A and B are shown apart, each in its own frame.
Chain A
Amino acid sequence: AQKVTQAQTEISVVEKEDVTLDCVYETRDTTYYLFWYKQPPSGELVFLIRRNSFDEQNEISGRYSWNFQKSTSSFNFTITASQVVDSAVYFCALNNQGGKLIFGQGTELSVKP
């Protein structure tokens, strides 16, 4: 069975703090893709990153970075020097059958000024 778990339901930080959003996945397939999406209050899901199962190299994009570890089936997302505009719900997702994304329950991040 495929499953994505985001154990943190809500996180609240003060602006400029670093914050890490956890994502743990389950799959029996050797080929799969992992995604992070951001859902701001407007409701649209915004694609942030895609990572395939054969590429464990960590990625940094500005203040965002992702740590993929197959040994622990985790794909964690860190925001450095958080800003109020980062406040949103963040979803981690798994795709291994080409048909549909399996989403975690989401982590609501609140960044206070």
Chain B
Amino acid sequence: GAGVSQSPSNKVTEKGKDVELRCDPISGHTALYWYRQSLGQGLEFLIYFQGNSAPDKSGLPSDRFSAERTGGSVSTLTIQRTQQEDSAVYLCASSLGIGSPGNTIYFGEGSWLTVV
């Protein structure tokens, strides 16, 4: 597609359930990023991929969070045993590559997660 596509747009889940969030980057973009934005807060980096590998997982808040990317394209962010503090907008982004920091990073519309 023309832009970064994320699904679901909105997800309400019960505490303790697992959720999967999907990101489809812009065609041809080899770098993919996940960020989290809690209500009224800034953007918190979670993880990025160059191709299928994740050189930097430093932002994942706990071992309940994991992400994978297959085929150098679609990525899935999985949150296990969700907690109420996981409620946030999860933003995915992509860029042409990580080699140059000047590559513009384009964001999707986000997946709004509410844990009740």
A31 touches B101 (CB 8 A): yes
Contacts of A44 in B (CB 8 A): 107-110
Q: What is the interface of chain A mostly: helix, strand, loop, or mixed? A: loop
**Residue of A at shortest CB range from B6?**
A44
Q: Report if A96 contacts B (CB, 8 A).
A: yes
The A-B contact count (CB < 8 A) is 62
A101 touches B45 (CB 8 A): yes
Contacts of B59 in A (CB 8 A): 100
A103 touches B43 (CB 8 A): yes
Contacts of A103 in B (CB 8 A): 42-43
Contact with A along B101-116 (1 / 0, CB 8 A): 1111111111010000
Interface residues of A (CB under 8 A from B): 31-33, 35, 37, 42-47, 50, 52, 91, 95-106
Given contacts A45-B107, A98-B100, 6 further A-B contacts (CB under 8 A): A43-B112, A97-B101, A98-B103, A100-B56, A101-B33, A102-B45
